Amino acid sequence: MLQSIIWSDGVLQLLNQTLLPAKVEYISCRDWQTVAEAIRRLEVRGAPAIGAAAAFGLVLGARELITDKEKFWTGLTEIAAALRKTRPTAVNLFWAIDRMLLVASRYDQGTDPAIVVAALEDEAKAIAAEDKEVNKKISLYGAQLFTRDEYAVLTHCNAGALATVAFGTALGVIRQAWSEGKIKRVFVDETRPLLQGARLTAWELAQENIPVTLITDNMAGWVMKKGMVQAVLVGADRIARNGDVANKIGTYSVAVLAKEHGIPFFVAAPVSTFDFTIASGADIPIEERSADEVSSFGGIRVAPDGIDIFNPAFDVTPNEYITAIITEYGVLRPPYDQAIADLANSEKIK
């Protein structure tokens, strides 16, 4: 399995996901600006992967300031602020940066910056290592939801190894359930406009010989109507206290279709994707991206010049469409406000 993020010898290697599946190429990040640019351009993407990349970005930035004790603390705050501006929706980005700054804040300002940088590097490594473990746990809990053999599932976007440090969330569950013989086929929405489903999810699954059928986004309803899938599994970028879930644009439509067809709709996400500060999905900032992503396909313009374009990168699925949310601490069921409050108060996540 290819790794999206590798930290080696003080350099962050990011698998350039905009080139997949045609080319496997890593970007060597030696400064925080390259990391910020990679997040902005979706060269590294997926909520947990963005968080881990930003954590290492902060290490690279702090390292540049190591010889300047005067500027170290203000510089660190400025770099953190710049990294926060790269993408607005996935809360894992802010979670990881907050976690890094909390580590730095344990040192007083007279401390040798080299000591703080070493602590930051340890924390970024811990964030990456924990993500692997967390995804394994999510996968095991999620696979328990599949009791019937000969199951086909549908997924949207990419919540796989590429979107995380390893294994994946929704795709981790699928991998695990497949290895247990509980899933026989995965239907993958291509996921316009940037084709994370076609380019990344279909590729990840095909590499492991998991049977995959690629469909365009507008085919999902018909596939459900014909009884070709028995469950939907997706990841998340931010989950509000009431269980509303922001995920890749198109997820909401899939959830509505699933409900209409009586198909369970599962979300798999780590606790770092929950935003305990917001009451509902109405408070989730939705990224809007460049019009070019919609007006072109494969680099070729397909829309008339000058046409108005709306390009939200995410949507919010209201909690009533969600059958269960799979976390590393177990499976949450409605009513979500209670289940998520219990999770937030749980000793395990403190």
In angstroms, give the least distance from the CB of 339 to ligand MRU.
20
- Answer for which of 157, 188, 195, 212 binds ligand MRU (CB under 6 A) is 157
State yes or no: residue 169 binds ligand MRU (CB under 6 A): yes
Q: Which residue is nearest to ligand MRU (CB)?
A: 235
Determine if residue 45 is labeled as part of a ligand binding site: yes
State yes or no: residue 48 binds ligand MRU (CB under 6 A): yes
In angstroms, give the least distance from the CB of 87 to ligand MRU.
7
- Answer for which of 159, 165, 188, 255 binds ligand MRU (CB under 6 A) is 159
Restricted to residues 74-93, the positions that interact with ligand MRU (CB under 6 A) are 90
State yes or no: residue 116 binds ligand MRU (CB under 6 A): no
Identity of the residue, 88 or 113, whose beta carbon is nearer to ligand MRU in the bound complex: 88
In angstroms, give the least distance from the CB of 232 to ligand MRU.
12
Binding mask 303-322 for ligand MRU (x = CB under 6 A): ----------x---------
Stretch that binds ligand MRU, among 22-30, 45-53, 275-283, 340-348 (CB under 6 A): 45-53
State yes or no: residue 235 binds ligand MRU (CB under 6 A): yes
Determine if residue 248 is labeled as part of a ligand binding site: yes
Stretch that binds ligand MRU, among 63-71, 77-85, 232-240, 329-337 (CB under 6 A): 232-240
Catalytically annotated residue among 131, 189, 237, 244: 237
From CA 268, how far away is CA 271, in angstroms rounded? 10
State yes or no: residue 166 binds ligand MRU (CB under 6 A): no
Restricted to residues 187-226, the positions that interact with ligand MRU (CB under 6 A) are 196
Long-range interactions of 112-116: CB distance < 8 A, separation 24+: 112/69, 113/62, 113/65, 113/66, 113/67, 113/68, 113/69, 113/72, 114/66, 116/62, 116/72
State yes or no: residue 36 binds ligand MRU (CB under 6 A): no
HEC string for the chain: CCCCEEEECCEEEEECCCCCCCCCCEEEECCHHHHHHHHHCCCCCCHHHHHHHHHHHHHHHHHHCCCCHHHHHHHHHHHHHHHHCCCCCCHHHHHHHHHHHHHHHCCCCCCCHHHHHHHHHHHHHHHHHHHHHHHHHHHHHHHCCCCCCCEEEEECCCCEHHHCCCCECHHHHHHHHHHCCCEEEEEEECCCCCCHHHHHHHHHHHHCCCCEEEECHHHHHHHHHCCCCCEEEECCCEECCCCCEEEECCHHHHHHHHHHCCCCEEEECCHHHECCCCCCHHHCCCCECCCHHHHEECCEECCCCCCCCCCECEEEECHHHCCEEEECCEEECCCHHHHHHHHHHCHHHC
State yes or no: residue 51 binds ligand MRU (CB under 6 A): no
Determine if residue 87 is labeled as part of a ligand binding site: yes
Stretch that binds ligand MRU, among 163-171, 213-221, 258-266, 341-349 (CB under 6 A): 163-171
In angstroms, give the least distance from the CB of 98 to ligand MRU.
18
Examine the residue annotation and report whether 237 is marked as an active-site residue of this protein. Answer: yes
Number of residues that bind ligand MRU (CB under 6 A): 18
Contacts with 61 (C-beta within 8 Å, 6 or more apart), sequence order: 31, 32, 75, 76, 79, 83
Name the residues annotated as catalytic: 237
Residues at the site binding ligand MRU, with contacts judged by CB under 6 A: 42, 45-48, 90, 157, 159, 163-164, 169, 196, 235-237, 247-248, 313
Residues in the annotated binding site for substrate? 45-47, 87, 196, 247-248
